[in-house]
Chain A
């Protein structure tokens, strides 16, 4: 009888650990996964709440690149639809980041503006590789 109770405790403790970590994992997935948007999707589904980390993908609009103070820069992301999003980023850009190229930016929308504040920028990292999310998008016309 005593051995059985002990075993019960052990199994109980183990399942508690497993269940709580699985619960934690699903909560984390719900809250902390970064949803992906294109400018068009932002129009269709509405802008995510300010401060929520999301990923924004599209092409850097030709002629939209602008430099600010220090290492700050601004550019516009387009996806072939009418919609565009203005992005700001402070730092050095990926090696293959340029106008007309595909880009995926991770970041947040600010409190009261439509400016997307990027904290990380991914571009193609070699000539053959395109960020996967952008495969379905039509390349912007070369200019």
Chain B
């Protein structure tokens, strides 16, 4: 059965090469058909893998080392991509999926450009497939199949993490299609308004799942790792953040290219870089070069191959860019105080922010070459990334209102006054009255400022209540995403600045007060799940009228010989009371259970903000609202 999968993957490799030739040759119809065939072959190949996992076919090496008969069905299914080889197969599938979607959905006036885009996508897919088949084949059989599998890493046996890789890959790999469009545009020497109009929705189609994928990953880390936080500046997290930042910069600059026909070279460069950062991310995650709490499937040879891929594709595209960029020069000049000027500022900030993340992520490698082992964590990023982004967020509502061409510079003072007023309110009523830190007060003001700015922008564009519903979906999308940034900021500031963290050591029946809450350990029970057993604590938490029983667990997965922590979270609006169960310690003959307690104010807003950004992106993908009169419309 799995041999069929192997065969289809080999067939897909052939098809991807055919696609490259047909596409680069400019045959749009043939390229479209081959792209669909490529996707079909990849889908069949991936399906056999899924079937092997679902049926627990332990004669397949990958299944034997990553699955188990007792595992719940969902995780048998999701286990397909919960490992290096399977996730690379998913990577290839998504690449082929974008090729097929492009073949079916692209209907522009430039068939040759479309064919070349598909051709470059074929070339990219062939590289990924070669890597899959020759360096990390999921189709290997075992000579002596074991009776039982080694089980999937239990940390990954979680609903959020089952959905996280497909989402993330739709984003990561989606940028390959934008990359292909950039390369095709450069080959033609035509990167202009039409190019931008074709490319923008595809970049958005990658950006939205990437946003949600990062959000899901962060949410998983929050409740599964038991560390209480939602972002750890871990190299693997940074690896996903960098393409996101570059992708966000692209989504802004491509609008300038679309509407004003300028910034062409820069826009196309960003399109190339977004996917380069995706490959760099894969390289960082899988080579094991950096210390990461998420490190999995670490293998230096694979790392070297991925690096080669990055150099070949990235270098090729950049070489093409250097060759053709001079032709792209031109476009109308623009003033600094204008919408295009504002977007240039946005791009500058996002690029610099990406650079600081890149520097912080790679610096330990550099230092190691000089014999110094170190790691770069949150203290570095809170001094670099955070202030740079904060700068951009303060400016956002102001420059959002600027018009194309030339904007009114004088209104800036009114905006500055508005911001100062909001900050003053938060300092007076937050910092002075509730004794929150000064910087946190400023951060809250910034969040409110962004939400207010988004509301103002919608109102400014609509002008009246009646026209609110008739605004284009794109405007709503943009505004919603910007409001989402504000909501996210509120949550991030609240959680970071006002978090409470404490520990408990309780005997059975003991009652303790901590941070205004009363905790009582009622009982600790041994329970059994499908493929695990656990100690479950029953912890009564009380504060005034509120009372609840939290049931944090410490699970052991015998097949994987690995314990995990299952946190218990009591949600009150956006605030979480978060408890993780620790080990049992016997001191002077009396057993005590340890707990880690976090009170995370406003953390819910972090995830609501991320969802709003994703929703905004989705909305802006909708086609323009139906016009009243289609033909002869002056608009």
Which one of B101-109, B425-433, B555-563 contacts A?
B555-563
For residue B588, which residue of chain A has the nearest CB? A67
From known contacts A22-B355, A129-B296, infer whether A34 and B383 are also in contact, taking CB-CB under 8 Å.
Answer: no
Q: In the bound complex, do residue B336 and residue A9 qualify as a contact, i.e. CB atoms below 8 Å apart?
A: yes
Q: In the bound complex, do residue B582 and residue A6 qualify as a contact, i.e. CB atoms below 8 Å apart?
A: no
Which one of B372-380, B411-419, B458-466 contacts A?
B372-380
Q: In the bound complex, do residue A29 and residue B360 qualify as a contact, i.e. CB atoms below 8 Å apart?
A: yes
- Complex Cα gap A14–B346 (Å): 11
B504 within 8 A of A: yes
Q: In the bound complex, do residue A25 and residue B565 qualify as a contact, i.e. CB atoms below 8 Å apart?
A: no
From known contacts A67-B585, A95-B565, infer whether A32 and B504 are also in contact, taking CB-CB under 8 Å.
Answer: no
Q: In the bound complex, do residue A92 and residue B595 qualify as a contact, i.e. CB atoms below 8 Å apart?
A: yes
- Complex Cα gap A122–B562 (Å): 15
From known contacts A36-B373, A92-B596, infer whether A127 and B384 are also in contact, taking CB-CB under 8 Å.
Answer: no
The 0/1 profile, CB within 8 Å of B marked 1, for residues 66-105 of chain A is 0100110100000000000000001111011000000000
Q: Which of B295, B335, B355, B383 sits near A6, CB closer than 8 Å?
A: B335
- Complex Cα gap A6–B377 (Å): 39
- Complex Cα gap A3–B595 (Å): 65
- Complex Cα gap A139–B352 (Å): 42
- Complex Cα gap A132–B287 (Å): 12
- Complex Cα gap A125–B153 (Å): 10
A10 within 8 A of B: yes
The 0/1 profile, CB within 8 Å of A marked 1, for residues 359-370 of chain B is 110011001000
Q: Which of B293, B333, B380, B582 sits near A29, CB closer than 8 Å?
A: B380
B288 within 8 A of A: yes
- Inter-chain contacts of A53 with B (CB < 8 A): 379
Q: In the bound complex, do residue B585 and residue A33 qualify as a contact, i.e. CB atoms below 8 Å apart?
A: no
Q: In the bound complex, do residue A21 and residue B503 qualify as a contact, i.e. CB atoms below 8 Å apart?
A: no
Q: In the bound complex, do residue B359 and residue A25 qualify as a contact, i.e. CB atoms below 8 Å apart?
A: yes
- Complex Cα gap A33–B364 (Å): 9
- Inter-chain contacts of B352 with A (CB < 8 A): 17-18, 21
B266 to chain A, nearest CB (A): 12
A126 within 8 A of B: yes
- Complex Cα gap A29–B298 (Å): 26
- Inter-chain contacts of B367 with A (CB < 8 A): 33
Q: In the bound complex, do residue A90 and residue B503 qualify as a contact, i.e. CB atoms below 8 Å apart?
A: yes
Q: In the bound complex, do residue B505 and residue A71 qualify as a contact, i.e. CB atoms below 8 Å apart?
A: yes
A43 within 8 A of B: no
Q: In the bound complex, do residue B379 and residue A25 qualify as a contact, i.e. CB atoms below 8 Å apart?
A: no
For residue A55, which residue of chain B has the nearest CB? B375
Q: Which of A17, A55, A95 sits near B564, CB closer than 8 Å?
A: A95
- Complex Cα gap A34–B363 (Å): 12
- Complex Cα gap A122–B379 (Å): 18
The 0/1 profile, CB within 8 Å of B marked 1, for residues 18-31 of chain A is 10011011011100
Q: In the bound complex, do residue A92 and residue B594 qualify as a contact, i.e. CB atoms below 8 Å apart?
A: yes
- Inter-chain contacts of A92 with B (CB < 8 A): 226, 503, 565, 580-583, 594-596
- Inter-chain contacts of A110 with B (CB < 8 A): none
Q: In the bound complex, do residue A6 and residue B336 qualify as a contact, i.e. CB atoms below 8 Å apart?
A: yes
B198 within 8 A of A: no
Q: In the bound complex, do residue A28 and residue B503 qualify as a contact, i.e. CB atoms below 8 Å apart?
A: no
- Inter-chain contacts of A133 with B (CB < 8 A): 291, 373
B634 within 8 A of A: no
Q: In the bound complex, do residue A132 and residue B291 qualify as a contact, i.e. CB atoms below 8 Å apart?
A: yes
Q: In the bound complex, do residue B359 and residue A36 qualify as a contact, i.e. CB atoms below 8 Å apart?
A: no
From known contacts A32-B383, A34-B374, infer whether A93 and B583 are also in contact, taking CB-CB under 8 Å.
Answer: yes
- Complex Cα gap A71–B355 (Å): 40
A119 to chain B, nearest CB (A): 10
- Inter-chain contacts of A9 with B (CB < 8 A): 336
B625 within 8 A of A: no
- Complex Cα gap A6–B348 (Å): 17
- Complex Cα gap A73–B592 (Å): 13
Q: In the bound complex, do residue A127 and residue B561 qualify as a contact, i.e. CB atoms below 8 Å apart?
A: yes
Q: In the bound complex, do residue B384 and residue A21 qualify as a contact, i.e. CB atoms below 8 Å apart?
A: yes
- Inter-chain contacts of B364 with A (CB < 8 A): 33
For residue B375, which residue of chain A has the nearest CB? A34
Q: Interface centre among B295, B335, B372, B387, by most A CB within 10 Å?
A: B295
- Complex Cα gap A51–B26 (Å): 64
- Complex Cα gap A34–B380 (Å): 9
Q: Which of A22, A28, A126 sits near B562, CB closer than 8 Å?
A: A126
B30 to chain A, nearest CB (A): 46
- Complex Cα gap A131–B359 (Å): 22
B344 to chain A, nearest CB (A): 8
- Complex Cα gap A122–B373 (Å): 16
- Inter-chain contacts of B503 with A (CB < 8 A): 70-71, 90-92
- Inter-chain contacts of B360 with A (CB < 8 A): 25, 28-29
The 0/1 profile, CB within 8 Å of A marked 1, for residues 559-589 of chain B is 0111111000000000000001111010100
Q: In the bound complex, do residue A132 and residue B295 qualify as a contact, i.e. CB atoms below 8 Å apart?
A: yes
- Complex Cα gap A122–B560 (Å): 19
Q: In the bound complex, do residue A3 and residue B582 qualify as a contact, i.e. CB atoms below 8 Å apart?
A: no
Q: In the bound complex, do residue B582 and residue A91 qualify as a contact, i.e. CB atoms below 8 Å apart?
A: yes
- Inter-chain contacts of B10 with A (CB < 8 A): none
- Complex Cα gap A93–B503 (Å): 11
Q: In the bound complex, do residue B383 and residue A24 qualify as a contact, i.e. CB atoms below 8 Å apart?
A: yes
A111 to chain B, nearest CB (A): 20
The 0/1 profile, CB within 8 Å of A marked 1, for residues 282-295 of chain B is 00000010110101
- Complex Cα gap A71–B373 (Å): 31
Q: In the bound complex, do residue A95 and residue B504 qualify as a contact, i.e. CB atoms below 8 Å apart?
A: no
For residue A97, which residue of chain B has the nearest CB? B583
The 0/1 profile, CB within 8 Å of A marked 1, for residues 490-534 of chain B is 000000000000011100000000000000000000000000000
Q: Interface centre among A53, A90, A92, A96, by most B CB within 10 Å?
A: A92
Chain A positions within 8 Å of B, measured between CB atoms, are 3, 6, 9-10, 14, 17-18, 21-22, 24-25, 27-29, 32-36, 53, 55, 67, 70-71, 73, 90-93, 95-96, 106, 122, 125-127, 129, 131-133
Not counting A25-B360, A92-B580, A131-B291, a sample of 4 additional A-B residue pairs whose C-beta atoms are within 8 angstroms of each other reads: A27-B383, A32-B383, A35-B373, A71-B596
The 8 closest A-B pairs by CB, nearest first: A92-B582, A71-B503, A36-B373, A95-B563, A32-B379, A28-B383, A132-B291, A71-B594
Chain B positions within 8 Å of A, measured between CB atoms, are 153, 155, 226, 288, 290-291, 293, 295-296, 298, 333, 335-336, 341, 348-349, 352, 355-356, 359-360, 363-364, 367, 372-377, 379-380, 383-384, 387-388, 503-505, 554, 560-565, 580-583, 585, 587, 594-596
Sampled A-B contacts (13; CB under 8 Å): A10-B341, A17-B348, A17-B352, A18-B352, A25-B356, A33-B380, A34-B374, A36-B374, A67-B587, A73-B585, A92-B580, A133-B291, A133-B373
